Every structure is written in C-alpha cells, then in structure tokens.
Amino acid sequence: MSGNDSYLIVGLGNPGAQYASTRHNVGFMVLEELREQWGLGKPKSKFNGLITEGRTGPGGPRVVLLAPQNFMNESGKSAGPARGSKKIELDHVIVVHDEIDLPFGEIRSRLGGGLAGHNGLRSITQYLGTQDYARVRIGVGRPPGGSERGADWVLSKIPKSARVDLDIACERAADAVECIASSGVDAAMQQFNQA
C-alpha cells in the first residue's frame, strides 16, 4: 500500500429523475448522506460522473465520492478513470450498491466476492481488473415472483411506507463506509453485519 490515504467511494445508481427513488439507486442515496455527514460541497461533473472531494473530518482520510452518470451497466467507465487519475490504491476503493439477496434495509460489508448478477459490479470489476474491492451492500429485498423479476424490481420505486426504514439503512451504510475508511473492512463487518 502506498502512502496515499485517499479513498474512492463509488455509489451505484442510474442517472435521471425517473430512477431517483428506485431500489437500484440506494448507492446514490448513501453518497448524499456522506456528503451531508462530512460537510462536502456540491458535486462536479468529471469522469462521466458526479464527483465530490474532501476529508471525512479533521485528520480524517481524503475521500473522493463518485456517482457514475453513464447508467449502472457501464459504471466502470466512470470508476476506472477516476481511480487512475486520483491514483487511489485498489484496496482503497469502496463500492456501495443494492443487493436483492439481502432483506430490505440490512447492511453487509465485505471485501471482494462474486457479482451476484449485478451489472454495476460486473462493469466495476471489468474496469478495475479485480473483484477484490470493498463493498457495502444494502438489502432491497427479493422481488415477489422470484429472481427472474429482479430487473423490474430494482428499477421500481421504493414505496413511501418504506422510506423511513430506507433512510435508516442509508445512514447505517454511510456509517459503514466511514468505518471502512477509518478502521478497515474487518471492523465494519464486525460492527455492521447483522447476524
């Protein structure tokens, strides 16, 4: 690992107002939460994405928050160049994404793992050249009618009745990201992965 203490935090989602409140966009929602928590400025357009830079706090690590704007299945086209330009080590990349294999609102952190049919992860992996990056997964629940309905499910709006639980989940996911950046993936797994 180099002396570079910067972290690239990639929140996955789809651009456009029609996707704003969908299950697939929880990664974007967590980036918003982090921007607020860390008092960072407005995002700027760069690397085919919206990017915000700053520190997590006094003496905290430097962070680059990236919301790719070239649709989920091409997220890597934004994340790869951003990582290269900012010279961020692979073990300092954190990807925040939705997970249909987790119950709604559950949070799981881990290093590496499979792609579980997630096109955003597939693209990130392709452009980073590895699956060994940190992940914060936010459960959006299984679609009624089985996993073949997954695409429709993740692109459907989250009902208002679930918004409070979703907001809590996004806050916990943001805390998990901060824990990874300050203390590592193992610490986040111990603190946030529910039994």
The residues that are catalytic are 24
Nearest to 87 by CA among 62, 54, 57, 111: 62
Of residues 153, 135, 138, the one with CA closest to residue 106: 138
Dist CA 176 CA 5 (whole Å): 18
Q: How far apart are CA 193 and CA 3, in angstroms?
A: 29
Structure tokens at 144: 């009624």
CA distance 104 to 101: 9
What H or E segment, with its residue span, contains residue 76? Answer: helix 76-86
> β-strands 62-68, 7-11: how paired?
parallel
Give the span between the Cα atoms of 149 and 23, in whole angstroms. 13
Q: Measure the CA–CA gap between 90 and 66, rounded to whole angstroms.
A: 15
- Tokens read off for 71: 């649709």
